Amino acid sequence: YENKSDQGVSWTVVSPIVFTYRVIQCKDLLDPRNDTLLWGHIEDEELKGTTSNSKPVKRFIVIDKTVHELYGSKVSQYFDAKGVIYKILPLPTTEESKNMELVTKILEEVHQFGIDRRSEPIIALGGGVCLDVVGLAASLYRRRTPYIRVPTTLLSYIDASVGAKTGVNFGGGKNKLGSYVPPVATFLDSSFFQTLPLRQISNGLAEMLKMALMKHRGLFELLEVNGRKMLHAKLQPSETCGGSEQEDGAAASMRIAIETMLEELAPNLWEDDLDRLVDFGHIISPELEMRVLPALLHGEAVSIDMSFMVYVAHQKGLLTTQEKSRIIQCMLGLELPVWHQECSLVLVQKSFRERLRHSAGSLRMPLPTGLGRA
């Protein structure tokens, strides 16, 4: 739009940005008979033209170091069987190493390998840190290169993998550098959970409980009754439901967690609206997690934050004593911490000040008003 005034001429540009990305649940992702990892990001019509192209297919894969020890040979076998030119880059993707140096390392390797930035997406295979770091690297390379997320932890499966945020830690703060660039696709395969320690399963269940408390009473009741059982089964399919059409508790809980997360994220991908239910458990947990690193996993810090806020909600008359008790007992049943000695009043006050700075001067603190309501 052009506007003329006594001071001169001005132009206003309005350019809506539309992102389309796919979240696909599948089984046996690393089985060479399954094409999802290679072509799942492409719609069927476009795929016909891509597969008939004589140009060799290339893929650059960034994989968490521990995941590489467990699945690296299967990843290699997959791409060998498909006749793909590929490079696998194993990296130690932990909160302590989640920094711009790691991003630069990825970018140098990608540049050396050489990819077509429009048709050869970078693949990230690992937990939330791996997905965040690779996402940021992809968003920077040639101003935006497509990337694919393959989460291997429960927490990244239902949280980091389905949104648009990328980031690294900076200046002593969690995810202080980052971008809003979603992947072209996320591929979900819960069989990766079989090699996770139980603590990592609990860690992910914290984010699931968050969505239950904010949006879905049925999910809360499922976790309350069957949570410990699902934890110790590592959310693998129940044998009793194996051959039937009936959805078991583990599959239902993951589906509901992802659906409720996407319902919240999709209309507000760029966080223009700061009233975000998905921020429950994320008011004091960033400060706490970074303060005691590496003592608490992300979901454990979120659980402690949620526990504190449940007491705040009860104090404000938003939750009954019984509801408060049921929530805390559910957390304990999921083997999550509900308190930490470093969660002091000073830390809480500092977190609130950070929140005010981050949220345009308004605290905007999501609180439960019942089980599945907020």
| Burial (Cβ within 10 Å: 0-12, 13-18, ≥19) of residue 111 | exposed
Same domain, residue pair 186 and 229: no
Same domain, residue pair 168 and 254: no
Same domain, residue pair 210 and 157: no
d(CA 286, CA 360): 18
- Please report whether residue 367 resides in a domain: no
Same domain, residue pair 62 and 170: yes
- Please report whether residue 64 resides in a domain: yes
R_g (Cα) of the chain, nearest Å: 22
d(CA 185, CA 131): 12
Same domain, residue pair 183 and 64: yes
Question: Does residue 240 carry a pLDDT above 70?
Answer: no
- Please report whether residue 117 resides in a domain: yes
Same domain, residue pair 98 and 54: yes
**Tell me: the pLDDT tens digits for 7-18?**
999 999 998 888
Same domain, residue pair 170 and 230: no
Q: What is the CATH number of the domain that holds 161?
A: 3.40.50.1970
Q: Residue 18: what pLDDT?
A: 87
Same domain, residue pair 207 and 163: no
Q: What is the CATH number of the domain that holds 348?
A: 1.20.1090.10
Q: Which domain holds residue 147?
A: 22-195
Dihedral (CA of 34, 35, 41, 47) sign: negative
Same domain, residue pair 77 and 110: yes
Q: Which residues are catalytic?
A: 165
- Please report whether residue 222 resides in a domain: yes
Same domain, residue pair 202 and 348: yes
Q: Residue 242: what pLDDT?
A: 52
CB 218 within 8 A of CB 183: no
How is residue 65 annotated by DSSP? Answer: H
- Please report whether residue 55 resides in a domain: yes
- Please report whether residue 8 resides in a domain: no
Per the structure, the count of domains in the chain is 2
Same domain, residue pair 230 and 283: yes
- Please report whether residue 5 resides in a domain: no
Same domain, residue pair 220 and 166: no
**Tell me: the pLDDT tens digits for 24-68?**
999 999 999 999 999 999 987 777 667 667 789 999 999 999 999
Question: Does residue 373 carry a pLDDT above 90?
Answer: yes
What DSSP line would sit under 74-132, residue for residue?
HHHHHHHHTT-EEEEEEE---GGG-SHHHHHHHHHHHHHH---TTT--EEEEESHHHHH
Percent of the chain surpassing pLDDT 70: 97
- Please report whether residue 175 resides in a domain: yes
**Tell me: the pLDDT tens digits for 295-353?**
999 999 999 999 999 999 999 999 999 999 999 999 999 999 999 999 999 999 999 99
